[in-house]
């Protein structure tokens, strides 16, 4: 029997032989009458209804036993033992008359609903069905992320909500927003209003910029949270700061604001540890950003500071990290921060496969948590191949198979496997100007990275994956998003993916 095209591949999926569950006019989502579960019921009905193009009713009741055509979502009782370990674990049992999804947490229910959505299939008669099936599933890593650069080219909240929807569909759970860089500052910070007023209007190539108000940011955070995704804001220091020094001249040695910058070079801008304004800036900005961030993490950047001595770099990383901790958040930074003294539990994000990894490995051995984002595997702004119009090539070409066939715990020699907390793809926007360009670079590679982050290596197989992911092309078409029809996958003939990214 053909296995359904579920991505990421679950821990256990066993198809039955009975007739499938029909998602017709009488299908109803049922949840307990609790505010958090009601929200999940509404979301489930919406997600399933968008696929089937029909309205699905939601009912709130403590007891639906015996009812037919029911999709029951519930949290597990404390004494239930059928779930795998982990907060996001879930089970699904689908029979001809009923589907029951059980999870330990609301995040687990969200993952279960996504699996149900992917199990849906439409027959030649136009009827949507879910096969009789038993699924037991849980993720390998707790951090499964996507970093999106909105500093070089701005993306609206509406565009980012599309990205969040794609992330949720592949069970990713962290949206890391690169909010500041040399080209623009994208978040209004109450204590430093000139950052938005003076430095948000620019982008690479002179394109139009933009900025998120606190209300915009809260809207995005809430939308992501409803889909089981945590937003991690990044304020990149002590380099990549031209937008900051353009807005506030006191951050420069001569007190003169720097000029706007719309190019794509890196490493030329910096903060100065001996200026009184620098520490004040770091404390104020990170306090404001932390106050707008319900999630536990704030990213301090720390990458590509090419014109600073190591001691000054360590001082500024320490000040930024202290400001984040003082605001009650946990610190995340790019791999370069491993050269500075770090508190245990700091999340260090590996990206540059070209440099000596020893400081990074030493930080892991000293208690840092490691987030794997190797550019040669998961930088999704790299070209698919030499014919790709969008993207860069400094880390090589990244085809779908490249994004799939790698192992996070063994990629860096000497890295303690237990230090790896997750995997995060990244997409930088030097050449990506809009949502169409972004989704073309994300899909189908985002699905490949998601499976690396979710599924144990012994259950991952390229030939199996390329068969399953091929079934997702029609779904992307249904969503109306642009995607790249990689020649490495045998897509159904009816799909509309572009072959020119």
| Residue 306 located in a structural domain | yes
Say whether both 264 and 186 belong to one domain.
yes
- The answer to whether position 489 is within a domain reads no
End-to-end distance of the chain based on CA atoms, in angstroms?
35
Furthest-apart CA pair in the chain: how many Å? 77
Q: Domain for residue 217, yes or no? A: yes
Domain boundary pick from 121, 137, 153: 137
Q: List, in order, residues 6 or more apart from 137 with CB less than 8 Å away.
A: 10, 11, 12, 13, 84, 89, 90, 91, 111, 115
Active-site residue, selected from the candidate residues 57, 304, 312, 405 = 304
In a domain, 70, yes or no: yes
- The verdict on 31 and 171 lying in the same domain is no
pLDDT of residue 494: 83
Residue 265 lies in a domain: yes
Verify that 115 and 156 share a domain, yes or no: no
- In this prediction the pTM is 0.97
Q: Pick from 93, 113, 137: which residue ends a domain?
A: 137
Q: Is 33 exposed, middle or buried (0-12, 13-18, 19+ CB in 10 A)?
A: exposed
Q: What is the CATH number of the domain that holds 147?
A: 3.20.20.80
Contact call for residues 454 and 171 (beta carbons, < 8 A): yes
Q: Is residue 71 situated within a structural domain? A: yes
Predicted pLDDT at 293: 99
Residues 218 and 115 in one domain: no
Strand partners, 333: 348
Let me know whether 86 and 208 are in one domain.
no
Per-residue pLDDT of the chain (501 residues; tens, 9 = 90+): 567 899 999 999 999 999 999 998 899 999 998 888 998 899 999 999 988 999 999 998 866 666 788 999 999 998 888 899 999 999 999 999 999 999 999 999 999 999 999 999 999 999 999 999 999 999 999 999 999 999 999 999 999 999 999 999 999 999 999 999 999 999 999 999 999 999 999 999 999 999 999 999 999 999 999 999 999 999 999 999 999 999 999 999 999 999 999 999 999 999 999 999 999 999 999 999 999 999 999 999 999 999 999 999 999 999 999 999 999 999 999 999 999 999 999 999 999 999 999 999 999 999 999 999 999 999 999 999 999 999 999 999 999 999 999 999 999 999 999 999 999 999 999 999 999 999 999 999 999 999 999 999 999 999 999 999 999 999 999 999 999 999 999 999 888 888 777
Provide the domain count of the chain.
2
Residue 304 annotated among the catalytic residues of the structure: yes
117: domain CATH number is 3.30.379.10
Quote the domain boundaries for residue 80. Answer: 12-137
Same domain for 122 and 159: no
d(CA 488, CA 261): 39
Per-residue model confidence (pLDDT) at position 63? 67
Among 120, 137, 154, which residue terminates a domain?
A: 137
In a domain, 120, yes or no: yes
What DSSP letter does each residue of 191-220 carry, written as one string? T-THHHHHHSS--GGG-----B-HHHHHHH
Q: Indicate if 208 and 108 belong to the same structural domain.
A: no
Question: Any residues with CB less than 8 A from the CB of 108 and at least 6 apart, and which?
Answer: 83, 87, 88, 89, 90
User: Which pLDDT score is estimated for 1?
Assistant: 52
- In terms of domains, do 239 and 295 share one? yes
Residues 357 and 274 in one domain: yes
pLDDT of residue 141: 99
- In a domain? residue 498: no
On whether both 183 and 133 belong to a single domain, the answer is no
Produce one character per residue of 323-333: b if its CB has 16 or more CB atoms within 10 Å, e if not.
bbbebebbbbb
Same domain, 153 and 130: no
Q: Cβ contacts of residue 93 below 8 Å, gap of 6+?
A: 99, 100, 133, 134, 135
| 239 and 376 both lie in a single domain | yes
């Amino acid at each position: 029997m053909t296995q359904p095209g579920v991505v990421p591949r679950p821990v256990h999926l066993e198809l039955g032989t009975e007739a499938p569950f029909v998602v017709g006019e009488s299908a109803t989502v049922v949840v307990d009458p609790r505010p958090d579960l009601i929200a999940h019921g509404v979301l489930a009905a919406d997600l399933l209804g968008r696929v089937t193009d029909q309205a699905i009713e939601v009912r709130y009741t403590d007891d639906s036993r015996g009812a037919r055509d029911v999709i029951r979502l519930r949290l597990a009782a404390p004494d239930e033992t059928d779930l795998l370990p982990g907060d996001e674990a879930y089970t699904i049992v689908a029979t001809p008359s009923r589907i029951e999804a059980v999870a330990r947490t609301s995040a687990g229910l969200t993952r279960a609903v996504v699996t149900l959505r992917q199990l849906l299939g439409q027959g030649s008669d136009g009827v949507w069905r879910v096969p009789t099936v038993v699924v037991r599933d849980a993720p390998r890593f707790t951090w499964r992320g996507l970093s999106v650069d909105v500093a070089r080219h701005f993306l609206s909240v509406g565009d980012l909500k599309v990205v969040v929807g794609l992330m949720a569909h592949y069970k990713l759970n962290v949206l890391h927003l690169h909010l500041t860089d040399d080209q623009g500052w994208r978040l209004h910070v109450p204590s430093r209003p000139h950052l938005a007023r003076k430095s948000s209007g620019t982008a690479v190539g002179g394109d139009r910029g933009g900025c998120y108000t606190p209300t915009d940011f809260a809207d995005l955070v809430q939308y992501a949270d409803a889909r089981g995704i945590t937003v991690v804001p990044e304020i990149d220091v002590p380099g990549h700061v031209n937008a900051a020094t353009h807005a506030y001249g006191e951050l420069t040695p001569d007190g003169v604001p720097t000029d706007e910058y719309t190019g794509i070079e890196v490493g030329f801008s910096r903060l100065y540890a001996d200026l009184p304004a620098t520490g004040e800036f770091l404390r104020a900005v990170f306090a404001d950003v932390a106050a707008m961030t319900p999630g536990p993490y704030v990213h301090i950047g720390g990458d590509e500071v090419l014109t600073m001595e190591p001691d000054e770099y360590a001082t500024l990383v320490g000040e930024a990290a202290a400001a984040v901790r003082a605001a009650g958040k946990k610190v995340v930074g790019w791999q370069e921060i491993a050269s500075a003294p770090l508190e245990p539990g700091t999340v260090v994000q590996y990206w540059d496969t070209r440099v000596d990894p020893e400081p990074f490995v030493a930080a892991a051995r000293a208690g840092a948590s490691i987030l794997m984002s190797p550019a040669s595997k998961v930088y999704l702004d790299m070209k698919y191949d030499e014919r790709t119009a969008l993207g860069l090539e400094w880390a090589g070409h990244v085809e779908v198979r490249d994004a799939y066939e790698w192992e996070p715990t063994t990629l860096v020699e000497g890295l303690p496997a237990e230090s790896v907390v997750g995997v995060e793809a990244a997409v930088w926007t030097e050449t990506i100007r809009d949502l169409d360009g972004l989704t073309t670079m994300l899909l189908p590679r985002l699905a490949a990275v998601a499976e690396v982050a979710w599924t144990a290596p012994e259950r991952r197989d390229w030939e199996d994956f390329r068969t399953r992911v091929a079934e997702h092309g029609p779904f992307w078409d249904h969503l109306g998003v642009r995607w790249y029809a990689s020649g490495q996958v045998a897509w159904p003939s009816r799909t509309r993916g572009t072959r020119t990214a």
